[in-house]
């Protein structure tokens, strides 16, 4: 594939999208350890947690504590999901670098995930951006179920364009198109990107894919082809929204970094350090994670020949 892109920015969402869907609530100290390792592995953007209702997502109820333990670096932006003014106040108190608000492209998923209509979510964001502006904190907007909804099916790209226009009007710095249940396919992705670019030029687009149907990295290639340089992914390939049926893991960060490096696209991330982080996460969670490069290792990894039997006919 021929792309002019030489560098991408990856936002690691493992301790947010990843841990929100785990049965086991990960200890605060383990979250801090992993995030500090991610910073040392070269990540420049980390969505470290969510300031949402602890009743909705108990796994992330410790966001205010986690951030206190992070050894922050000035060139690593820490972001967190915020659904409402209450969340924004917590984020400001935590001295977050960037607030990420979110709603769904479909009314039914917005209702399940946020207990309100899309219009009510947008109205609430007005209060969030007002506070964020007073505090000089940038706001970014996510659109969940952007490429398909598990309850409503196809999402017309004009719906995504409509919401993105509202985000621009509100003064957000960009939009993330979130593929909550892995319904994105190459034609759907390129259509959505083209429609946004045509209607809202000069607005930063980030892509957030889940690998539910095995085409997550194929969708990234489509994104690159359309000129997109911002992607979100989870170490170990974990992740999923607890309020969407059959939501499974995000695209895996090690697999994404591996692919980018093999295509000579710079990420700034040390793949070996990242593999170690994914292995630590595997130990913490206590089961084999779906990521592939964390198990297979880099392409030119050499195996000891002595341990492999020779096929003989006898
Ligand atoms: N942080 C902490 N507590 C919050 C909160 C926040 N951001 N927002 C609301 N609450 C608390 C309120 O203080 C209130 O507490 P009380 O009962 O002790 O008075 C309670 O939650 C209910 O508040 P309300 O505004 O009526 O919210 P709701 O019950 O309609 O729920 C959301 C709305 C948005 C708070 C909830 O649906 C939510 O947190 N969703 C996030 C889902 C998510 O993160 N999904 C995964 C990401 S895709
Ligand atoms: Zn997700």
Confidence of residue 314 (pLDDT cuts 50, 70, 90): confident
Confidence of residue 37 (pLDDT cuts 50, 70, 90): very high
- Ligand 1 centre to CA of 280 (Å) is 31
How many residues can be counted in the chain? 314
CB-ligand 1 contact for 20 (6 Å cutoff): yes
Q: What is the pLDDT of residues 119-153, one digit of tens each?
A: 999 999 999 999 999 999 999 999 999 999 999 99
Domains in the chain: ranges and CATH: 9-307 (3.20.20.70)
Q: What is the pLDDT of residues 217-265, one digit of tens each?
A: 999 999 999 999 999 999 999 999 999 998 999 999 999 999 999 999 9
Nearest of 160, 166, 158 to residue 146 by alpha carbon:
160
The mean pLDDT value for 173-196 works out to 98
pLDDT of residue 64: 98
Q: What is the pLDDT of residues 260-297, one digit of tens each?
A: 999 999 999 999 999 999 999 999 999 999 999 999 99
pLDDT of residue 48: 98
> 45-50 and 139-144 as β-strands: parallel, antiparallel, unpaired?
unpaired
Ligand 2 ion: nearby residues, β-carbon < 5 Å: 17
Confidence of residue 3 (pLDDT cuts 50, 70, 90): confident
Q: Per-residue pLDDT for 187 more than 80?
A: yes
- Report which ligand 1 atom has the smallest distance to the Cα of 243: 45
The mean pLDDT value for 105-122 works out to 98
User: Please, where are the H alpha helices in 41-117?
Assistant: 63-69, 85-93, 107-114
Cβ neighbors of 193 (< 8 A, separation 6 or more) are 177, 205, 223, 226, 228
Q: What is the pLDDT of residues 59-89, one digit of tens each?
A: 999 999 999 999 999 999 999 999 999 999 9
CB-ligand 1 contact for 114 (6 Å cutoff): yes
Q: Which residue is closest in CA terms to ligand 1's atom 47?
A: 241
Q: In the chain, where do the E strands start and end?
A: 9-12, 45-50, 77-82, 98-104, 139-144, 174-178, 204-208, 230-233
CB-ligand 1 contact for 128 (6 Å cutoff): no
User: Please, where are the H alpha helices in 94-156?
Assistant: 107-114, 118-134
């Amino acid at each position: 594939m021929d792309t002019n892109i030489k560098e991408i920015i990856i936002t690691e969402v493992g301790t947010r999208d990843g841990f929100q869907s785990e049965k086991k609530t990960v200890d605060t100290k383990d979250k801090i350890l992993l995030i500090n390792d991610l910073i040392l592995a070269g990540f420049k953007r980390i969505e470290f947690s969510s300031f949402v209702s602890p009743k909705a997502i108990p796994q992330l109820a410790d966001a205010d504590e986690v951030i206190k333990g992070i050894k922050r670096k000035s060139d690593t932006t820490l972001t967190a999901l915020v659904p409402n003014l209450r969340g924004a106040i917590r984020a400001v108190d935590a001295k977050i670098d960037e607030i990420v608000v979110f709603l769904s492209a479909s009314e039914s998923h917005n209702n399940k995930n946020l207990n309100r209509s899309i219009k009510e979510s947008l109205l609430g964001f007005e209060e969030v951006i007002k506070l964020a502006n007073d505090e000089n904190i940038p706001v970014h907007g996510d659109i969940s179920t952007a490429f398909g909804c598990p309850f409503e099916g196809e999402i017309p790209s004009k719906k995504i364009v409509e919401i993105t226009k509202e985000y621009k009007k509100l003064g957000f710095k960009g939009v993330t198109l979130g593929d909550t249940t892995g319904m994105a396919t190459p034609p759907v992705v390129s259509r959505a990107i083209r429609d946004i670019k045509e209607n809202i030029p000069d607005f930063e687009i980030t892509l957030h894919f889940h690998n539910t149907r095995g085409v997550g990295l194929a969708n990234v290639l489509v994104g690159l082809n359309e000129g997109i340089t911002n992607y979100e992914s989870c170490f170990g390939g974990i992740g999923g929204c607890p309020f969407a049926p059959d939501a499974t893991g995000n695209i895996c960060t090690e697999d994404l970094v591996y692919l980018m490096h093999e295509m000579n696209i710079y990420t700034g991330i040390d793949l070996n350090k990242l593999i170690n982080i994914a292995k630590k996460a595997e130990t913490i969670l206590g089961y084999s994670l779906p990521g592939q490069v964390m198990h297979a290792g880099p392409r030119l990894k050499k195996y000891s020949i002595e341990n492999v039997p020779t096929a003989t006919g006898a």
